[in-house]
Amino acid sequence: MDLQSRIKNRLNEIESKGLKRQLSSPKGIDLSSNDYLGLAKDECLKNAMIEAVKREGVGSTASRLLRGERDCFREVEQKFADWKGTENSLYFSSGYQANIGIMQTFLEKDDVIFSDELNHASLIDGIRLAKCRKELFKHFDVEEVKKLLNETECKGQKFLVTESLFSMDGDIAPLKEYAEICRRTNTNLIIDEAHSVGLYGKKGSGLIEEFGIGKDVFLSINTAGKALGVSGAFIAGSNQTIEYLINKCRSFIFSTAPIPAVADALMMAIEIIESEKKRRGELNHLCKYFNQLLVENGFDAPTDKTQIVPIIIGESEKTVAIANKLQAEGFDVRAIRPPTVAEGTSRLRVTLNLSLSEEILKEFVEKLKDICKSV
Ligand SMILES: Cc1ncc(COP(=O)(O)O)c(C=O)c1O
């Protein structure tokens, strides 16, 4: 069989399982972007970026270690670190690139990494690249984590990696408990704050701030393409940790530096998040309202009332059919299917954001209820 025939067969297999993926542009009311605070289209961010393009041009022209370095990267990295409460940070073009890079940089042969079974694909792929022993633990199972960290023999370093707010379930990890266990067992804690940076804590820097566990965290990953409204990701940690990344992290070293103008947009995003607490308050209100509305209408709502709300349907085909009908009604909600989530747990992933209102959400739930009855 030639390669094109094999690819065709594989695509047919995917389609027969109801798992075919297609690219489709935004349409209708936004219930699926990660632009939680509405910063992606904010005038201040747009202007900051336009001015920076005029100053810096478009492309960075080389990697950061060569001619791609710019003062604006260092400035935004220091600003991010001050906000996050760490000594330093390093900006990557994407969270995926950051997660691939950190594992390969810090994990050595004699180490062991403990990872939540539901961690994001970018963390999983990063871990796959590491040569050390890997142990999965049940999602949020503190007792299992305790046992594993206490009893696993390890000649090198132990690491625990978790998301703080899980991207597909919207639930919040028991970070305080993990921090304490890690402290007692000399385990290095890595936290992916992709969906919490910008939203939690007094300053809005994330759940590490909210739980007050900064001192117990080895490093955090903070994507900048979600609540921060731009793109890329900051790894936040100590000066030495960042210096080591600059020297060892292959996905940082061997890649063209990001577009310089994103740094100026991110400076603005951090300033707005810090100073405009109202935005976070409004989002929080929508989270409570929508979760309550789901319960009142007979749907299961997650225990943590966050901005990510999975509505579990189960079968992939049924989930896609419901999503299509909702889209036809003007609601841009997407079906999430395996392998992104476990078999039998296909879902609509609703993400709340500041373009929404109570009225829109009410109308959405009414339509959802009708459609679920008819599919
Ligand atoms: C938990 C988590 N980590 C990392 C990433 C990757 O970030 P990026 O989209 O910037 O590559 C994502 C989302 O895409 C995510 O949800």
80-89 pLDDT, tens per residue?
999 999 999 9
Q: From the CA of 163, give the closest atom in ligand 1.
A: 1
Stretch (H or E) spanning 160: strand 158-163
Q: Ligand 1 mean position to 94 CA, how many Å? A: 8
Residue nearest to atom 3 of ligand 1 (CA): 194
Together in a domain, 258 and 301: no
Say if residue 232 is in the same domain as residue 296.
Answer: no
Measured in Å, residue 227 CA sits from the centre of ligand 1 at 12
Q: Which of 102, 118, 167 to mutate to test the pocket of ligand 1 (most atoms within 8 A of CB)?
A: 167
Pocket test of ligand 1: the residue of 96, 163, 349 to mutate, having most ligand atoms within 8 Å of its CB, is: 96
Answer yes or no: are the C-beta atoms of 224 and 230 closer than 8 Å. yes
Token pair listed for 312: 């579990």
Query: Does residue 269 sit within a domain?
Result: yes
Q: Whose CA is nearest to atom 6 of ligand 1?
A: 95
Query: Which pLDDT belongs to residue 303?
Result: 81
254, 274, 294: which is the final residue of a domain? 274
Name the amino acid, one letter, at 21. Answer: R
Of 237, 256, 274, at which residue does a domain stop? 274
Tokens 């220091």 belong to 78
Query: Which tens digit of pLDDT belongs to each residue from 25-55?
Result: 998 999 999 999 999 999 999 999 999 999 9
Residue numbers of the domain that contains 289: 19-36+277-374
Q: Tell me: do 62 and 144 sit in the same domain.
A: yes
Judge whether 12 lies within some domain.
no
Same domain (yes/no): 269, 282: no
What CATH number should be reported for the domain holding residue 294? 3.90.1150.10
pLDDT of residue 19: 85
pTM of the model: 0.96
pLDDT at 170: 95
CA distance 225 to 194: 9
According to the 3-state scheme, what is the secondary structure of 248-262?
HCHHHHCCECCCCHH
With a 6 A CB cut-off, is 169 part of the ligand 1 pocket? Answer: no
Q: How many domains does the chain have?
A: 2
Alpha-carbon distance 90 to 88, whole Å?
Answer: 7
Intervals of the chain under pLDDT 70: none
